[in-house]
């Protein structure tokens, strides 16, 4: 039985990936920081308590492991100390890769973000070959880009590492910070989210969680070391997203546009409040800019090279709405 280690197994993507691997008969181990969250994982998972900076624990967790999914990351819009992004997403990733090399792990799949490709400035979808044009808006994207640079260096030295780049993930699963799209869907169905950023016509790419999980496993099985694979779904504007959500749910509300100037002013106020009082902002000025740009994405490479087949948005939304109703 193949032995696999997952970092970030108590998160949104990592947790569903872990369950999928168990269903398919793998022996799964998990690196966890929080014993309370670890206790909620299936009993057959072998737990190693520690973080990305405990070298001994990392190496122990990788003993006899063939494959590592490095999903753990600091994926929040804000941190009191911006160096947190670099520490966890860059330095922590390097520690995982060093331990994997020392323990002779066959392959590592690293979870990055489609944000490193940059926005689709000309309106057409971007792909893995695009170098980010212009300044990356968020520290999260910048940290993932730096981590990818380290990966390319290590691949050049002979280590087998594959990168996957999910877009905006949604679907059944814990409604935590890393499942923000599903939280938005739930609020909208309750009539509590009726806002379209800017003019509502900015395009984003939305991918169902089960497709992201399958994409990770396909990258592990068929990916090429040093290559990155965009794991996305359908490109739609905010208006189109909520129109499709209304169609599958039968719930329809009048939507209101939120002018970009007002969005920026609100974000700047929340940023100041966060700096003064430590209250986490709902959105920061840098994320406002990200939301107002187009982020159309091509998944042709993953489809052709991995056999990746994303679910249509309407079907993904239908399954998500059904799950939300069942979950209450």
Given a cut of 70, whether residue 310 has pLDDT beyond it is: yes
Q: How far apart are CA 147 and CA 110, in angstroms?
A: 9
Report if residue 196 sits inside a domain.
Answer: no
Parent domain of 216: 3-173+206-236+296-314
Report if residue 116 sits inside a domain.
Answer: yes
CA atoms within 13 A on the CB side of 283: 18
Report if residue 80 sits inside a domain.
Answer: yes
- State the average pLDDT over residues 130-146: 83
Residue 133 has what pLDDT? 63
| CATH code (residue 228) | 3.40.50.720
User: In terms of DSSP bridges, do strands 161-166 and 195-197 run parallel, antiparallel, or are they unpaired?
Assistant: unpaired
Q: How far apart are CA 65 and CA 104, in angstroms?
A: 8
Residue 134 has what pLDDT? 62
Q: How many domains does the chain have?
A: 1
Given a cut of 70, whether residue 135 has pLDDT beyond it is: no
CB 202 within 8 A of CB 292: yes
Radius of gyration of the chain measured on its C-alpha atoms: 19
Residue 154 has what pLDDT? 98
CB 53 within 8 A of CB 95: yes
Report if residue 184 sits inside a domain.
Answer: no
Reduced to 3 states (helix: H, G, I; strand: E, B; else coil), residue 243 is: helix
C-alpha distance from residue 184 to each of 27, 169, 187, 319 (Å): 35, 12, 5, 15
Residue 24 has what pLDDT? 95
Mean pLDDT of the chain: 93
Report if residue 60 sits inside a domain.
Answer: yes
Instruction: Tell me the pLDDT tens digit for each residue of 220-272.
Output: 999 999 999 999 999 999 999 999 999 999 999 999 998 888 878 888 888 88
Report if residue 283 sits inside a domain.
Answer: no
Reduced to 3 states (helix: H, G, I; strand: E, B; else coil), residue 263 is: helix
- State the average pLDDT over residues 306-323: 98
Residue 246 has what pLDDT? 97
Report if residue 189 sits inside a domain.
Answer: no
Assign 17 a pLDDT band (cuts: 50, 70, 90): very high
Percent of all residues in the chain with a pLDDT value above 90, rounded to a whole number: 75
Give the dihedral sign, CA 318/212/167/205.
Answer: negative
Instruction: Tell me the pLDDT tens digit for each residue of 297-307.
Output: 999 999 999 99
Assign 214 a pLDDT band (cuts: 50, 70, 90): very high
Between 42-56, 161-175, 186-200, 282-296, the lowest mean confidence (pLDDT) is in 282-296
Report if residue 144 sits inside a domain.
Answer: yes
Cα of first residue to Cα of last residue in the chain, in angstroms, is 38
Instruction: Tell me the pLDDT tens digit for each residue of 59-68.
Output: 999 999 999 9
Residue with tokens 């905006």: 168
Reduced to 3 states (helix: H, G, I; strand: E, B; else coil), residue 162 is: strand
Strand partners, 46: 29
């Amino acid at each position: 039985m193949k032995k696999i280690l997952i970092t970030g197994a108590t998160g949104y993507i990592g947790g569903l990936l872990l369950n999928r691997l168990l269903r398919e008969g793998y022996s799964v181990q998990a690196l966890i920081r929080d014993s309370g969250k670890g206790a909620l994982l299936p009993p057959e998972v072998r737990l190693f308590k520690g973080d990305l900076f405990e070298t001994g624990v990392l190496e122990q967790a990788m003993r006899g492991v063939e494959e590592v999914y490095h999903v753990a990351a600091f994926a929040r819009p804000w941190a009191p100390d911006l160096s947190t992004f670099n520490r966890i997403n860059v330095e922590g990733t390097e520690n995982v890769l060093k331990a994997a090399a020392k323990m002779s792990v066959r392959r590592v799949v690293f979870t990055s973000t489609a944000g490193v490709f940059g926005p689709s400035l000309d309106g057409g979808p971007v792909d893995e070959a695009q170098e980010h044009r212009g300044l990356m808006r968020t520290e999260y994207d910048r940290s993932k880009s730096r981590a990818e640079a380290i990966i390319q260096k290590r691949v050049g030295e002979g280590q087998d590492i594959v990168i996957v780049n999910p877009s905006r993930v949604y679907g059944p699963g814990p409604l935590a910070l890393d499942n923000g799209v599903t939280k938005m869907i739930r609020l909208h169905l309750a009539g509590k989210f009726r806002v379209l950023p800017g003019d509502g016509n900015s395009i984003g790419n939305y991918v169902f969680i089960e497709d992201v999980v399958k994409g990770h496993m396909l990258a592990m099985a068929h990916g090429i070391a040093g290559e990155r694979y965009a794991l996305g779904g359908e490109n739609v504007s905010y208006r189109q997203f909520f129109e499709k959500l209304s169609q599958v749910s039968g719930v329809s509300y009048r939507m209101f546009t939120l002018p970009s100037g007002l969005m920026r002013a609100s974000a700047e106020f929340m940023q100041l409040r966060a700096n003064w009082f430590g209250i986490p902002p709902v959105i920061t000025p840098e994320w406002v800019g990200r939301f107002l740009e187009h982020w159309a994405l091509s998944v042709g490479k993953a489809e052709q090279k991995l056999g990746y087949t994303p679910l249509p948005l309407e079907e993904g939304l239908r399954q998500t709405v059904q799950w939300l109703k069942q979950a209450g």
